[in-house]
């Protein structure tokens, strides 16, 4: 027998089992909520994000080190070329093979100029080598950070896998329990409960406790309480406010 789209009557025991079913569904909803707000997921995403940033910085650092090494090698070649040319000119001066005073003066000036040029290039080379050393130091620090984050990422993944496994087990047990309880409830009452739970956003049945609906927590007005007291035990009662099925027990205050 149905009333206003809902089951009008049902065995009192079956109605009480709705409370167990509601408890099971609430437990499953809590598991789903915990799964959706796991701190382990947040930690994993933070690790992945941090690692991605550091990996990008490592690539940039490797590029800088490579560029600095190339600059140093080029400068070393420039310095060596000037040094060899100065040494060759100095050898000509020392050899005494040039007798022309003008040529000797020019060569002496060129050697002095080459020596100054060599000193200047060597200063530049030293600055480049310092920059290279700084770049290598920065890169080594970034590589160490990357290694640390690699380990943290593995830990974060393992921690998430552990808690998800625990939740999977808990959910599996909860679903089996829910199925067992649901199997004991008449199909029409179960369908009514499911429809109401969907409409109310999670509460299909609640305990009527001391004159208060357990679904919306509101006190039942005296006229409605009088009607409830007079209702037969197998009548399926609905809360006027939240529309959930109110189940009567010894705690209902009737």
**Residues paired with 41 in a beta bridge:** none
How many whole angstroms from its chain centre is CA 47?
Answer: 7
Alpha-carbon distance 237 to 231, whole Å?
A: 9
Cα→Cα distances 125→66, 113, 115, Å: 16, 18, 15
**CA angle (164, 51, 128) in 5-degree steps:** 170
Confidence of residue 92 (pLDDT cuts 50, 70, 90): confident
Higher-pLDDT residue of 92, 178 = 178
CB atoms within 10 A of CB 80: 12
Domain boundaries, the chain: 2-36+182-248, 39-167
The model carries a pTM of 0.70
Confidence of residue 253 (pLDDT cuts 50, 70, 90): low
Alpha-carbon distance 91 to 181, whole Å?
A: 105
Average pLDDT, the chain: 92
Contacts of 3 (CB under 8 A, 6+ apart): 236
Q: Is the pLDDT of residue 202 over 90?
A: no
Torsion from C-alpha of 140, 144, 146, 148, nearest 10 degrees: 180
High-pLDDT (> 90) share of the chain, % = 71
Structure tokens at 237: 């009662």
Confidence of residue 6 (pLDDT cuts 50, 70, 90): low
- The pLDDT score that the predictor gives to residue 2 is 40
Q: Are 57 and 143 in contact (CB under 8 A)?
A: no
DSSP 233: T
High-pLDDT (> 70) share of the chain, % = 96
- Pick from 16, 15, 38, 18: nearest CA to 26: 18
Fold of domain 39-167 = Helix Hairpins (1.10.287)
What is the per-residue pLDDT across 59-73, written as a single tens digit (0 to 9) for each?
Answer: 999 999 999 999 999
- The pLDDT score that the predictor gives to residue 26 is 96
């Amino acid at each position: 027998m149905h009333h206003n789209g809902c089951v009008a009557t049902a065995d009192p025991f079956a109605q009480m089992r709705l409370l167990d079913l509601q408890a099971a569904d609430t437990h499953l909803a809590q598991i789903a909520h915990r799964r959706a707000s796991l701190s382990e997921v947040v930690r994993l995403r933070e690790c992945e994000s941090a690692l991605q940033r550091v990996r990008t910085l490592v690539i940039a650092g490797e590029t800088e080190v490579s560029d600095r090494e190339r600059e140093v090698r080029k400068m070393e070649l420039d310095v060596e070329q000037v040094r060899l040319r100065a040494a060759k000119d100095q050898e000509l001066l020392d050899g005494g093979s040039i007798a022309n005073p003008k040529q000797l003066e020019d060569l002496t000036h060129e050697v002095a100029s080459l020596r100054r040029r060599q000193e200047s290039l060597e200063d530049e080379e030293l600055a480049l080598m310092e920059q290279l050393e700084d770049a290598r130091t920065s890169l080594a620090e970034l590589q160490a950070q990357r290694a640390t984050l690699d380990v943290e990422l593995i830990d974060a993944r393992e921690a998430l896998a552990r808690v998800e496994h625990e939740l999977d087990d808990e959910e599996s047990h909860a679903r089996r329990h829910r199925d067992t309880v649901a199997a004991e409830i008449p199909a029409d009452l179960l369908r009514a409960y499911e429809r109401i739970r969907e409409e109310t956003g999670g509460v299909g049945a609640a305990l009527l406790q001391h004159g208060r609906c357990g679904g919306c927590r509101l006190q039942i007005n005296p006229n409605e309480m009088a009607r409830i007291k007079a209702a037969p035990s197998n009548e399926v009662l609905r809360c006027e406010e939240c529309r959930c099925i109110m189940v009567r027990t010894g705690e209902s205050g009737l």
